[in-house]
Amino acid sequence: MAQAINVNSEIGKLKSVLLHRPGAEVENITPDTMESLLFDDIPFLKIAQKEHDFFAQTLRDNGAETLYIEDLATDVFAKDTAVKDEFLTRFLTEAGYKHGRTFDSLKEYLEGLETKEMVDKIYAGVRKNELDLQRSVLSDLAGSDAANPFYLNPLPNAYFTRDPQASMGAGMTINRMTFAARQPESMITEYIMKHHERFAGTPIWRDRNHTTRIEGGDELILSKNVVAIGVSQRTSSKSIQALAKELFSNPLSTFDTVLAVEIPHNHAMMHLDTVFTMINYDQFTVFPGIFSQDGNINVFVLKQGKDGEVEINRMSDLGKALKQVLNLSELDLIETGDGDPIVAPREQWNDGSNTLAIAPGEIVTYDRNYVSIELLKQHGIKVHEILSSELARGRGGARCMSQPLWRDEI
């Protein structure tokens, strides 16, 4: 079987990447549900799609294959109705439906659609008025569920393909996500990884059947041996340690070091990649707000210890830790918004730190963060600017919107 995934850095030339084009799910965000759906505003879908197409075209123009997760899911379910049936049963069960009237009607409704339409519906959500059940299900009429106009909630964060899974070496983690709003997304990944011929034989370092949480925005591949993982609002220290153990012991893994970086636990900095990205062999973007007054941060170097256990070394200087684990003599940490107390948090909020490297020293980033962009250019970085008026309202940038599947070695 041909290897499907090869990601041994954040910066190797990008050859293949997984995307999701925002769809009807974005138009199912309402002012009441915005917060629980992890949005700060309601994007204008038509423009968001144009911006996303521009992003995808930028990647293709620079030599990357763009694969859409919704197309891969459609391939899987169109090919095998038993797999589609099993997926729907599990999807509805995880959404809280047991066999019975609502479960059966939802399943029948989704099965009755063309497969691509069904996949789009899984993302968009199913409104109650799409099924004719209103007078026979008490929970539709009374109690807290009655207020929700959806039987299946929309998945508007799906265009942030970075998070439900993470390519790592030749394998992948399929993630148990933190919030209910995003948990269903990684089930779609699970079915693609298990059943799409392109991914047959791909090692899964960690699956989603866990109670401890991890999200791809926290998983950064620094080299063939080193991953950095954020201890964040979305990723717990327990899951990092468990993943480290797996990476250190699995013969298919080349990783021997995990750098756990503890960042503030809040919505603006929900993942490590919202405050820190690798853009060249020795250059990184960093948001200064993650450091204490004296410039420190909790960084933990995890290595293989005795008897299959993990050995942990605590540090407080991010630059020193990076130099140590990557064997670098020099390091260029480029501050978002040039470290200005007004510009830095403004540009970080709109994902100025969330750059996607498409080759060493060459990145894609939102056009709106012009102070950071100018600074990056001064540091010798080649910048491809993408449109950001609507996409940014979901609080994620170019790295968040992409899941590399193949990068050339550096």
Ligand X SMILES: NC(=O)NCCC[C@H](N)C(=O)O
Pick 24 or 268: Cβ nearer ligand X: 268
Footprint of ligand X on this chain (CB under 6 A)?
38, 157, 160, 162-163, 182, 217, 270-271, 273-274, 394-396, 400
Q: Between 92 and 270, name the residue whose CB sits nearer to ligand X.
A: 270
Tell me the closest approach of the beta carbon of residue 206 to ligand X, in angstroms: 17
Q: Which is nearer to ligand X, 8 or 157 (CB)?
A: 157
- What's the rounded Cα separation, in Å, for the pair 134 and 86? 26
CB of 213 to ligand X, least distance (A): 12
Nearer to ligand X, 381 or 401 (CB): 401
Nearest-approach distance from CB 311 to ligand X, in angstroms: 29
User: In the complex with ligand X, which residue's Cβ is closer, 164 or 169?
Assistant: 164
In the complex, least distance from residue 38 CB atom to ligand X, rounded to whole angstroms:
3
How far apart CA 260 and CA 231 sit, in angstroms, is 6
Q: Catalytic one among 261, 386, 400, 401?
A: 400
CA distances from 282 to 75, 89, 134, 171, 320 (A): 40, 48, 60, 25, 12
Token pair recorded at residue 150: 């959806």
What 106-115 contacts at long range (C-beta under 8 Å, 24+ apart), as own/partner pairs, is 106/131, 106/151, 106/152, 111/84, 111/85, 115/74, 115/77, 115/78, 115/84
How many Cβ atoms sit within 10 Å of the Cβ of residue 128?
18
Q: Is 152 helix (H, G, I), strand (E, B) or coil?
A: strand
The residue (of 74 and 274) whose beta carbon lies closer to ligand X is: 274
CB of 162 to ligand X, least distance (A): 4
CB of 275 to ligand X, least distance (A): 9
Residue 246, Cβ density class (10 Å: 0-12 exposed, 13-18 middle, ≥19 buried): middle
Which tokens is 283 given? 């250059």
CA 355 to chain centre: 13
400 is catalytic: yes
Q: How many CB atoms lie within 10 A of CB 29?
A: 22
Place of tokens 């909790």: 298
Residue 34 or residue 312: which is nearer to ligand X going by CB?
A: 34
Q: Which stretches within 147-278 are classed as H helix? A: 185-195, 237-249
Shortest separation between residue 107's beta carbon and ligand X, angstroms: 28
**Residue pair 18/161 in contact by the 8 Å Cβ criterion:** yes
Distance CA(256)–CA(222), nearest Å, equals 12
Query: Residue number with the shortest CB distance to ligand X?
Result: 217
Rounded (10°) angle between helices 69-79 and 115-124:
130
Q: Which is nearer to ligand X, 23 or 217 (CB)?
A: 217
Residue 399, both tokens: 């790295």
Report whether 381 contacts 280 (CB < 8 A): yes
Structure tokens, 7: 């990601």
CB of 396 to ligand X, least distance (A): 3
Q: Interior CA angle at 76 toward 70 and 81, to 5°?
A: 125
Other CB atoms closer than 10 Å to residue 52's CB: what's the count? 21
Distance between CA 371 and CA 374 in Å, rounded? 5
Q: Please, how many CA atoms are within 13 Å of residue 98, restricted to the half-sphere of its CB?
A: 0
Catalytic residues, by residue number, are: 400
